[in-house]
Amino acid sequence: MPAARDTVVRSRAASRSHAKYAWSGRERLGLLQVREGAIVLHAMRWPDEARDPDDLLPPASEVSESERSRARWR
């Protein structure tokens, strides 16, 4: 049984590969993967390209009671 499992793991690993490619004048890192007969490139990010999810939240805003009453479904 371990030999069959090892073969499955190796076959999955053989269908994936890291790749460097150029896009918009920058060198990028990606993961090539064979999926349903097609070669798919998953773009990966360098650490300086990753953003903090908290920076993506919209700013807090005040909503008056009259705005709330007009927004309610009647």
Q: pLDDT (tens digit, 0 to 9) for every residue of the chain, 74 residues total?
A: 445 444 444 555 567 888 888 888 888 888 888 888 888 888 888 788 888 888 888 888 898 888 888 887 65
Number of other CB atoms surrounding residue 31 within 10 Å: 13
Q: Which sequence spans correspond to the domains of the chain?
A: 1-50
Structure tokens at 48: 């300086």
Q: What pLDDT score was predicted for residue 7?
A: 43
The rounded Cα 35 to chain-centroid distance in angstroms is 16
In the numeric block, the tokens 């890192």 are attached to 29
H/E segment holding residue 74: none
Closest CA to 35 of 15, 21, 20: 15
8 Å CB contact between 31 and 18: yes
